[in-house]
Amino acid sequence: MSSRSRLVIAMGATIGLLPVCGAMAGIDLTAGDWKLDFSGNVNAFYVGTSCDSGSNTDVTGGLACTGDRSAAVRNGLLPAALVFAATTQQEGLDIGVTIGLYPGINSSAAAGVNGAGLPAALATPGIDARQAFLTFGNPSWGTVKMGRDIGLFGKDAILDDMTLLGVGSAPNNAAPSNTSLGRIGLGYIYTDWEPQITYTTPTYSGFSASAGIFQPLDAVGSASYTKHSQPQIQIGGSYAWGDANALTGKVWLDFVTQQYQASAADQSGNNAACGCVAASSQTGNGVDAGVKLGYQGFEGVLYGYTGSGLGTTGLFILGTSASGGKRDSDGGYVQAAYKFQKLKIGLSYGMSELKRSSDERALAPSNLLKRNSSVVGGLYYSLTKSLTLVGEYIDTKADAWNGNSAHEHDFAIGGILFF
């Protein structure tokens, strides 16, 4: 198995998708003082993938497959979902709880429901219980969230990604997991689901902001930064305007920062990758911003991010060298879509770049990822208000610093049903 394949599998374990409770009204019930809501989705796609079988295709951190062609019936960027929410008012407070269960249709293996799949007889899928949080607050002073939910940094990037209803890039198509990648790692860093305590302000004339402390994450794919003495911090703000008959829009800005400390082994010079002493600690930072505009049937999105020690594809993945030097990263995507009657046509391009650290620039270039990029064209047809049929074509490319590259072509056809 190539180093790229191993990394894709490792990243798959962290790649979950998004709450779907806001996509449809759901099924509402009332029990005493509590209002109960059940919502979710089921989706399935046929995906055909053509992988690069040439030489010099190994890219560590690359998101384009290599080897043979593959065919799969699988989930897209969203797994299936069943989300339960309960809300009530007590002592002048709006309080609530949400629990989300996310099963896939593909059989899972030892890596977990979001790792590499197991397309074999007598296998079974799993359930990813990635969402469990409580909220309390009121319209005058805002809302506090406590528990596990989607993060702030990169959240709007994936929520506005048109492949959310489809598939996007699918480098693990030969053994599908719960999800594809969509544009994760190909225009934005995955926001992830994280334990958190977050405060969100009321909305003032379209403005709102959130700030929270989050469970700090280990750095992956570099020096072993697995010790944490401080929480991860994320802050986000947005402004939205317009109505259905005029220009509508939203702009947003997010920030994330986290300190991580090297393991005792790496600090003593026992790093397996280089036998060197790693920097005792590093701090990863990132900022992103975006704008979404809509007018009648047109919708456009422009998004970008930059960071240092932040990594690529997932938070703090490949963020440092083996000796602990910080790598800079940046990327973004542009997307345009037009909907007439029930059909939406969309086109998007995005890329995510990873720079070498200062100590790596003094060495010969390696097969470390330089850039992941993709072009996606999609057709999304609303057969009913709940059911959308989808067709996509995806062209994905991964480039390394030493000149290695891999190219992947995917087509997907299927549908997604929200309730």
Looking at 19-28, 97-106, 182-191, 257-266, which range is the least confident one?
19-28
Looking at 79-93, 184-198, 220-234, which range is the least confident one?
220-234
Strand pairing partners for 406?
Answer: 398
Mean pLDDT for the stretch of residues 179-208: 97
Residue 287 has pLDDT above 90, yes or no: yes
Query: How do residues 308-356 score in pLDDT, each as one tens digit?
Result: 999 999 999 999 998 888 999 999 999 999 999 999 999 999 999 999 9
Looking at 18-22, 150-154, 255-259, which range is the least confident one?
18-22
Give, rounded to a whole angstrom, the gap between the first and last alpha carbons of the chain.
40
Q: Are 415 and 387 in contact (CB under 8 A)?
A: yes
Beta strands in 185-247 (DSSP E): 193-200, 207-214, 225-227, 232-241
The pLDDT of residue 269: 61
Mean pLDDT for the stretch of residues 227-237: 95
The pLDDT of residue 20: 42
Greater pLDDT, 53 or 132? 132
The pLDDT of residue 226: 87
Q: How far apart are CA 98 and CA 59, in angstroms?
A: 40
Query: How do residues 386-405 score in pLDDT, each as one tens digit?
Result: 999 999 999 999 999 999 99
Query: How do residues 165-175 score in pLDDT, each as one tens digit?
Result: 999 999 989 99
What sign does the CA torsion over 337, 42, 146, 225 have? negative
Domain boundaries, the chain: 3-418
What sign does the CA torsion over 70, 75, 79, 82 have? negative
Binned at pLDDT 50, 70 and 90, residue 277 comes out as low
The pLDDT of residue 258: 96
Integer CA distances (angstroms), 48 to 51, 76, 174, 192, 388, in order: 10, 13, 9, 27, 20
| Phi, psi dihedrals of residue 321, rounded to the nearest 5° | -80, 175
Amino acid at 223: A
Mean pLDDT of the chain: 89
Extract the tokens encoding 403: 């000149």
Mean pLDDT for the stretch of residues 182-211: 97
Strand pairing partners for 150?
Answer: 193
Q: How far apart are CA 77 and CA 193, in angstroms?
A: 15
Give me the CATH topology for the region 3-418.
Porin (2.40.160)
The pLDDT of residue 25: 56
Q: How far apart are CA 372 and CA 331, in angstroms?
A: 9
Residue 301 has pLDDT above 90, yes or no: yes
Alpha-helical segments (H) within 218-375: 264-267, 358-361
What b/e sequence results for 346-380 when a residue is b if at least 16 CB atoms lie within 10 Å of its CB, and e otherwise? Answer: bebbbbbbbbbbebbeeeeeebbbbbbbbebebeb
Query: How do residues 3-52 score in pLDDT, each as one tens digit?
Result: 444 344 344 433 444 444 334 457 888 888 999 999 999 999 999 999 99
The pLDDT of residue 1: 41
